[in-house]
Structures are given as structure tokens and as C-alpha cells.
Amino acid sequence: MRVGVGKLNEESGFPNCDLVCCFWLPQVGPVALIFCLVIEGDLAEQGLNIGFLGGTFDPVHLGHLIKAQDVLEALGLDRVYFVPTSANPFKADPPVAGPSERRAMLELAIDGDKRFGVLELELELESEGPSFTIDTVRELVGQFQGQGLFWIIGTDQLPGLARWREIEELVTLVEFACVRRPGWAFEEPGIPGLRLHQVEGHVCEISSTEIRERAEKGRHFSLFLPKKVYKFICSRNLFK
């Protein structure tokens, strides 16, 4: 029996195997072992359920973090990614903080919590116009092949969900996790093919708009967001 160790590149047909150990056996060769390793690697990449919370996060606050945790725990997700967007197509005003500042605040907010991540998409942060969920999700489907994708929304978004761009395709690509918001009831929007999960999470009446207004007027806002985010805002003199 001979043993060999080496790398497999893309031309080998097994681009997902970085290192392989081959046992050369009579009338068998290395094929059986390579095949087993590839299958094992593929299974490690499949079967995950991942949530995505999009928004301008201008700034990110405790309500965003609690919503992400509520959905992760209620649906048994493996991870939730925050996806900072360029602009909300349903809001007239663009974000006040720049893309790099909003991304930095998100990283400070999750503070190394492995349950969460910040996903930077060039089409989102570099776009000068409004951000549409369908464009984002198409890119996510390519990045997270073979995994369950859940787009997180609030009950305040349900009435307008049918008007989202190319909603007919969107509902085939992701499932929706809907968290209750104050003053908004959970009502099925009647969209064919929609996979909608109701999440009875914590009710947090915190908004980025109020935080910006408080900062502009010199009022206290430190209790609405993580301490590191508050210190970042003060150090950059944001929202004043």
C-alpha cells in the first residue's frame, strides 16, 4: 500500500478539496477516497439555515440586535447576517452616515458574537440609488448555495410586501421571517407562494430616526444602542 498527500486544484474537478490523502490499493486506487472526501465536504456546506436582516442601520441600535436574536432562536437559525443597504426605496431621505461608518457601527454592535455577521455586498453599499431586496437576494443565492435563506421583516412591512420589486420571484428564493412591531398586526398579505413565519419577539420601540434626532438636539441617546456604537458616534460627531 502506498500513501500520497497533495492538493487538488480547480482543474482536477474537485475545487472544494484543499488537501487529500490518497491510499493506493490494488484494483481500487485513490478514486474511492477522493469521492468520500468530496461528499463529506459538500454535506458540511449544506443544511444550514441563515437569516438576513437588511437596512440602512443609520445607526444600528438594540432593537435591531434583539430582532435578529429573536428570529435566530425562534426559527433555529444557524446565523443571522446584517446587510447594510445604500438606501430604502420607500424612504425619501438617504442615510446620514456613510457606508464605511454604518459598516463599522455594525461590527462594533455584534462585538464578536459568532451568531451574527455583517455581510458587505458591493451592489448595496456602492449603489447611488435605492436598494431593492430582489437584487440582494439574487446575489445571496449564489453565495449560499444549498442553504435555507430567511429574509427578516417586521409586521409594519407586510401591507406593502406585495409591492416589492419582482416579489413573484423573490418568494421562490427566500422564506420570510416576520417579527411583530408595535401597532402592526400580523396579517397574511395573500402573495402566492409566500413562505411566511410569524415570530413573536420582544417589542422594542426604538428607531434610528429618534436616535438621530436626539443626537442633533443634544439629548441623551446612549441607552438605545450598544456602548461601543455610542462611543463611535460621539467620536465622529455623527448626526449633529
Domain total of the chain: 2
- As a whole number of angstroms, the distance between CA 194 and CA 174 comes to 9
pTM recorded for the entire structure: 0.79
Q: How far, in Å, CA of 152 to CA of 238, rounded? A: 27
Residue 41 shares a structural domain with residue 58: no
49 contacts 75 by C-beta, under 8 angstroms: yes
Same domain as 32, residue 126: no
Query: Do both 133 and 230 map to the same domain?
Result: yes
Domain range holding 29?
2-45
Give me the tens of pLDDT residue by residue for the chain, a chain 240 residues long: 444 444 444 444 444 444 444 445 555 455 444 333 332 333 234 689 999 999 999 999 999 999 999 999 999 999 999 999 887 766 767 889 999 999 999 999 999 999 999 998 865 556 566 778 999 999 999 999 999 999 999 999 999 999 999 999 999 999 999 999 888 899 999 999 999 999 998 988 899 999 999 999 999 999 999 999 999 999 999 999
DSSP 8-class letter at 219: -
Task: Indicate whether 189 and 147 sit together in one domain.
Answer: yes
CATH number of the domain bearing residue 223:
3.40.50.620
Provide the residue type at 222 as one letter: S
